[in-house]
Amino acid sequence: MSAVSDVTRMTAAQIAGLISSGEASAVEVTTAHLDRITAVDERVHAFLHVDREGALAAAAAVDIRRGKGEELGPLAGVPIAVKDVVTTKGVPTTAASKILEGWKPPYDATIVSRLREAGMVMLGKTNMDEFAMGSSTEYSAYGPTNNPWDLGRIPGGSGGGSAASLAAYEAPLAIGTDTGGSIRQPGAVTGTVGAKPTYGGTSRYGLIAFSSSLDTPGPCARTVEDTALLHAVIAGHDPRDSTSIPQPVPDVVAAARLGATGDLTGVKLGVVKEFAGEGAEPGVMAAFHESVEALVKLGAEIVEISCPHFEYALPAYYLIAPSEASSNLARFDGVRYGVRVGDDGNRSLEEVMSLTRDSGFGPEVKRRIILGTYALSSGYYDAYYGQAQKVRTLITRDFTKAFDQVDVLISPTTPFVAFPFGSRTSDPYQMYLADLYTIPTNLYGGPAISVPCGLSEGLPVGFQIMAPTMADDRMYRVAAALESAVGTFTPPEL
């Protein structure tokens, strides 16, 4: 049992190696992670639902297949946590909203089907801001997740549960979704790695839609190589998603392994001028600049790049995403799934619908529905939604021009380290600033990754690498090189 005793501290690649060599069974590995969840999740609250039975059954099935000598995928038997905005057949899925309390989806999302086909073991569903709207998990209807680095601070959001499950060693891998930074910002503030793939590179089928032109599912892990291994499992064309790109996925695993050799000779990194100072905490900028120097030592060339329209990304996002959300969330009408409130036999459908939605949705979701309805109203459409779409074009042009000069763009992932609970909830706009540096990529549609690069006052700082559309491999190479130079960061014992 000695090989298994600290299995929760291992990387997914190491765990997969133990299982394929027969040193540990998938059931032993899964049990170790379930035990860890039992031991610490009361304090962390990364999970909304733990599927102990389903996980052990999936693990046992992998062990049987391995026993028969079947050829299994590179992550077979490795446990994974899945964000609760992703549908899982027969397993409760709420998007952290009261309106879906108790709902068991009748189908799996495509990315979940791919995890199952790969023999991966789903431990459960992770906490998040309701419908993925937020940057702290404080908008979860089921209470926030606590950051394993400091239980009094936020774990980022919306995917704070997925990121915290990694930092708390409850899972070696997790699935997130990124609409404005919901994979990368939680990664940054928990000292873990999170990648937003190219929009269309991973299937949206089975994601509970927030902003359809921006939502992108992606991998989360504690190391760059693990992130790439998971990326390779979930990515690729899906005929069930009409915006899925019918092209081969770049070899992100090979790119991560190349980067890990620590050689970036000839690689040009563009520092986004507009994101290199104002608004960011000094400790964040210090860690960022030290990391840039480390990358220069590995042979990278630094070019300062101006992206003049990035400063309008946040306003454009907070018009586009709520507009799409106001339309997408119309499906929660208390008829086909979820709860129904106020149906006393006398009230009309419209009254019941309005009561259901008011009691089922939390404050941030309501704010965004109202904001989106406003931005789409006649009289305001051109000035707000229409103008935001034009700015989206200009931001895309900034990226295209930048990638004529450099291979990737770099910036801090988020302007500030994990903040204390309650410090940004009274003024919603202060919360939105957490995504200042992550949002441009979503509007452009390219890939980006956050990798831990240092500590500021004892809390993790994330380094963001943005790459051109369908060049996800480039960001993995640079991320792995940075990881090889600065190492990984371990939170204090829980």
CB of 483 to another protein, least distance (A): 28
Kindly name the residue from 25, 83, 135, 326 that is annotated as catalytic. 83
Q: Which residues of 83-110 are buried (b: 16+ CB within 10 A; e: fewer)?
A: bbbbbbbebbbbbbbbbbeebebeebbb
449 closest CA partner among 249, 218, 136, 128: 218
At closest approach, how far in Å is the CB of 85 from another protein? Answer: 16
Q: What is the identity of the amino acid at 332?
A: F
Q: Does 334 bind another protein (CB under 8 A)?
A: yes
Nearest approach, Cβ of residue 393 and another protein (Å): 4
Which amino acid, one-letter code, is at 490? T
Contacts of 4 (CB under 8 A, 6+ apart): 18, 24, 28, 29, 32
Interface with another protein: number of residues (CB under 8 A): 73
Catalytic (active site) residue 182: yes
Separation of alpha carbons 478 and 195, rounded Å: 13
By CB under 8 A, name the one of 70, 390, 458, 487 that touches another protein.
390
CA distances (Å), 228 to each of 132, 154, 224, 484, in order?
A: 23, 26, 6, 15
For strands 173-178 and 408-412, give the pairing. Answer: unpaired
> Could you say which residues in the range 20-39 bind another protein, by CB under 8 A?
none
Please pick, from the candidates 4, 337, 471, 494, the single residue that binds another protein as defined by CB under 8 A: 337
- Decide if residue 353 touches another protein (CB under 8 A): yes
- Residue 318 has phi, psi (to 5 degrees) of -80, 5
Site track for another protein across 109-128, x = CB under 8 A: --------------------
Peptide bond before residue 450 is cis, with ω within 30 degrees of 0: no
Structure tokens given for 436: 């200042």
Residue in the block written with tokens 């540990």: 24
Q: Is 425 among the residues that bind another protein (CB under 8 A)?
A: no
* Sign of the torsion angle spanned by Cα atoms 323, 329, 333, 339: negative
Q: Which of 270, 338, 447, 491 lies at the binding interface for another protein (CB under 8 A)? A: 338
Q: Which residues contact 112 (CB under 8 A, 6 or more apart)?
A: 82, 86, 87, 88, 89, 122, 175, 206
Please, what is the minimum distance in Å from the beta carbon of residue 19 to another protein? 31
Tell whether residue 424 is a contact of another protein (CB under 8 A).
no
**Residue 393 interacting with another protein (CB under 8 A):** yes
- Among residues 127, 51, 122, the alpha carbon closest in space to that of 83 is found at 127
Beta strand 173-178 pairing with 79-83: parallel
Active site residue 158: yes
- The rounded distance, in Å, linking the Cα atoms of 263 and 465 is 16
Of the listed pieces 67-75, 357-365, 454-462, 479-487, which binds another protein according to CB under 8 A?
A: 357-365
Write the binding mask 136 to 175 for another protein: x where contact by CB under 8 A, - elsewhere: ----------------------------------------
Per-residue contact flags (x/-) with another protein for residues 244 to 263, judged by CB under 8 A: -x------------------
Nearest distance from residue 102's CB to another protein, in Å?
9
Tokens of 110: 């495509």
The partner residues of 88 in beta bridges, in order of sequence, read: 91
Which C-beta is closer to another protein: that of 364 or that of 473?
364
Identify residues 169-208 at the interface with another protein (CB under 8 A): 199-200
Which residues in 73-102 contact another protein (CB under 8 A)? none
With CB under 8 A as the contact rule, which of the stretches 114-122, 144-152, 258-266, 423-431 interacts with another protein?
423-431
CA 386 from centre of chain? 28
By CB under 8 A, which span of 9-17, 41-49, 390-398, 403-411 interacts with another protein?
390-398
Q: Does 318 bind another protein (CB under 8 A)?
A: yes
Tokens linked to 165: 């499950």
Please tell me which residue in 182, 291, 323, 450 is annotated as part of the active site.
182
Residues 367-386 that bind another protein (CB under 8 A): 367, 369-371, 373-374, 377, 383-384, 386
The region of 178-186, 286-294, 329-337, 409-417 touching another protein under the rule CB under 8 A is 329-337
Among 52, 65, 273, 347, binds another protein (CB under 8 A): 347
Is residue 389 a contact point for another protein (CB under 8 A)? yes
Per-residue contact track with another protein, 201 to 240, x per CB under 8 A?
------------x-------------------------x-
Q: Where in 455-474 is the site for another protein (CB under 8 A)?
A: 469
Q: Which of 113, 135, 158, 326 is catalytic?
A: 158
- Spatial distance between the Cα atoms of 267 and 55, rounded to a whole number of angstroms: 42
C-alpha pair distances (Å), 494 with each of 50, 120, 154, 167, 254:
20, 27, 15, 10, 34
CA 409 to chain centre: 19
C-alpha span between 443 and 479 (Å, rounded): 22
Residue (125 or 309) nearer to another protein, CB? 309
Stretch that binds another protein, among 8-16, 31-39, 49-57, 334-342 (CB under 8 A): 334-342
Cβ atoms of residues 161 and 119 within 8 Å: no
Cβ proximity to another protein: between 303 and 370 the closer is 370
CA distances from 225 to 21, 197, 221, 318, 356 (A): 20, 15, 9, 33, 44
Catalytic residues: 83, 158, 182
